[in-house]
Amino acid sequence: MRAGVWLPDTEPGFAGPAIVDTHIWIWYLDGQAESMASSAVELLRRCVRGGGLLVSDISVWEVGTKVAKGKLDLAPDVSTWVQRASRRPGFSFLPLDREVLLSSTQLTGAVHGDPADRMLIATAGLAAVPLVTADGSIIDYARNEGGFSVCDARR
């Protein structure tokens, strides 16, 4: 997949693999399709059936952190939610490794300050796999700096 920002309806044949940003992972699994463009939901469905959706382990940390801070409520609890999510067909988890951790500290330009987002950007760049996100800061960074592929899932 080419570097830069693209819309899901411009790549109707794309079927993965793709990395999902933490909010996309939550929205997709919790049935919050209205939070994304309908073409993004269809792209995610194609990926689940095809090459798969990849979830970085940093997303597990981010979900746990948001729950601990009261910014996210998952039923019945975060551990059970993650356990169930890990068994969903079409999803695989990507471990954080030293290469991703170091790369996240060496991103060029004005990059998002959120460490989880930096690790997702680094993972997408190193894996040469698109990152599906609705985060405007990540989308702007990809548009300005390039070097990795981003699917803009915003409505």
Instruction: Say which CATH number the domain at 16 has.
Output: 3.40.50.1010
Domain count, the chain: 1
By residue range, what is the domain housing residue 44? 4-109+121-138
Question: CA of 112: how far to CAs of 7, 106, 117, 134, in Å?
Answer: 21, 12, 7, 14
Note whether residue 65 is domain-resident.
Answer: yes
Q: In what order do the strands lie in the sheet with 18-20?
A: 4-6, 149-152, 131-133, 18-20, 53-56, 91-94
Residue 59: name the closest of 128, 109, 10, 131 by CA: 131
**Helices in the chain by DSSP H: which ranges?**
22-29, 38-49, 57-68, 78-86, 98-105, 115-127, 136-145
The reported pLDDT for the residue numbered 38 is 96
Q: Give residue-wise pLDDT tens across range 21-58.
A: 999 999 999 989 899 999 999 999 999 999 899 999 99
56 found inside a domain: yes
Q: Is residue 9 part of a domain?
A: yes
> Does residue 151 lie in a domain region?
no
pLDDT for the residue numbered 16: 94
Task: Return d(Cα 118, Cα 9) in angstroms, integer.
Answer: 26
Instruction: Give domain status of residue 30, yes or no.
Output: yes
What is the predicted pLDDT for the residue at 51? 86
3-class state of residue 151 by DSSP = strand
pLDDT in tens, 79-113: 999 999 999 999 999 999 999 999 999 999 878 68
145 in any annotated domain? no
98 part of a folded domain: yes
Q: What average pLDDT does the segment 115-128 reach?
A: 95
Domain assignment of residue 52, yes or no: yes
